[in-house]
Amino acid sequence: MLKYTLLFSLFFSFTLNMHAQKAAPAEKSDPEAKKVLDRIRKKYEGYKSVEAAFTLTIEVAGQPIDVQKGTVSQDGDKFRLDMDQQVIASDGKTTWVYLKKNNEIQITDTDPNDENGFLTPKDLLSRYQKGDFLYAIIDKVSEKGRVLTQIEFKPKSKSSEYAKIRVSINEKAGTIESIKAIAKDASRYTFQITKLTPNKTYPAGFFQLKSSDYPGVHVEDLRM
């Protein structure tokens, strides 16, 4: 779960919040990569909200490749993730996790300082602003008639569960196409964006989960 949420956090950190980024020290990161990110920022920084349909591919050694589809939405500090097996929603104060197989909702306080809990886009952005990553352009590749610029991020902390994170950017369209996280155990998590919808208006309560919407659901309220 933590790995999935990190990918979505990374995506939103490079879209809605790029205007707030403070790059890692220029002498250690690639200034050309920063220029690419700055150009993408100019397009995304005006978006009030963004929704992405995606495909998540999970590759773990010794296990079949797992491909999941879903939708992730964010409006400010609020976010919602809808997938086949679960739904995660947060209104900025409270986080709900609905486990479909168990028909159970878990409720927790949203804690922006908890690095072991769900990583909201704001959390990750805060760490990025502190210079926790070094980044550089590593390649430009052709894919389905598009030229993608690949920027690789490496965490400075040796305790990070990730060895590297790679972001593929379509500079011509001004869009982020995919994010791949490679864990230290060699597992790979690829977040491929299939459709992006900016400035969508969400109904009241969209970023909350109500037990009345899930007949017979068991609720575990873990708030302090």
Q: What is the DSSP string of 64-114?
A: --EEEEEEEEEETTEEEEEESSEEEEE-SSEEEEEETTTTEEEEEE--TT-
Q: What pLDDT does 101 receive?
A: 93
Terminus-to-terminus CA distance in the chain, angstroms? 22
Q: What pLDDT does 127 receive?
A: 52
**CATH T-level fold of 2-221:** outer membrane lipoprotein receptor (LolB), chain A (2.50.20)
Q: With 0-12 CB in 10 A as exposed, 13-18 as middle and 19+ as buried, what is 186?
A: exposed
Q: What is the C-alpha separation between 180 and 166, in angstroms, rounded?
A: 5
Q: What is the C-alpha separation between 114 and 172, in angstroms, rounded?
A: 37
Q: What is the C-alpha separation between 176 and 52, in angstroms, rounded?
A: 11
Q: What pLDDT does 113 receive?
A: 56
Q: What pLDDT does 122 receive?
A: 39
Q: What pLDDT does 64 receive?
A: 96
Q: What is the token pair recorded at 14?
A: 């490079």
Q: What pLDDT does 143 receive?
A: 86
Q: What pLDDT does 120 receive?
A: 42
Whole-model pTM above 0.75?
A: yes
Q: Average model confidence (pLDDT) for the chain?
A: 80
Query: Which residues of the chain carry a pLDDT beneath 70?
Result: 1-27, 112-131
Q: What is the C-alpha separation between 106 and 5, in angstroms, rounded?
A: 16
Q: What pLDDT does 208 receive?
A: 97
